[in-house]
Homo-oligomer: A and B are copies of this chain.
Amino acid sequence: MGISKIDKMHSLSKNQQIIFDLINKSPEPLKAYTILFNVQKKGIKAPLQVYRALDKLVEIGKIHKIESRNAFIACHNSSCQVAKATAFSICEICEKVTEISSAGLSKYLANFKDKDGMKYSKYNLEFFGLCKKCR
């Protein structure tokens, strides 16, 4: 089999892999300095090393930034690999964050045009409410 071209395109460097692994196994969004603290034993010592990996991972769609929380979660939605169309639900009590994948929603937003007929190349949507447990 070997490594296909598309796999190679998304292959991660050492730091990127370390940081992605940490985020990917976390049940909750992680903040940059929480990540830094957790990867120091792996040799990543400085904030910039973390931020650079985060930037790249966001760029290639492996993780998303939850803007209202300054935190990062792994993408669990193959359809947003390009990181251009993201939607999340956030519980205001327990802070649980879930990525929403709704074909209807993404179709509606991808096609949304404003009054000037402007179409957008990207969007991020954050819903807030109470999750099942906290209701």
Contacts and interface: CB of A to CB of B under 8 A. Distances in A.
A130 B67 CA distance: 20
Contacts of A128: 120-124
Contact of A126 (B100, B119, B123, B132): B123
Interface in A88-121: 89, 92, 98, 100, 102, 105, 108-109, 112, 114-116, 118-121
A127 B120 contact: yes
B132 A118 contact: yes
A123 B105 CA distance: 13
A68 interface: yes
Nearest to A113: B102
A82 interface: no
B122 A129 contact: yes
B100 A114 contact: yes
A127 B68 CA distance: 15
A125 interface: yes
A127 to B, nearest CB: 4
Contacts of A125: 109, 123-126
Interface of A: 67-68, 89, 92, 98, 100, 102, 105, 108-109, 112, 114-116, 118-132
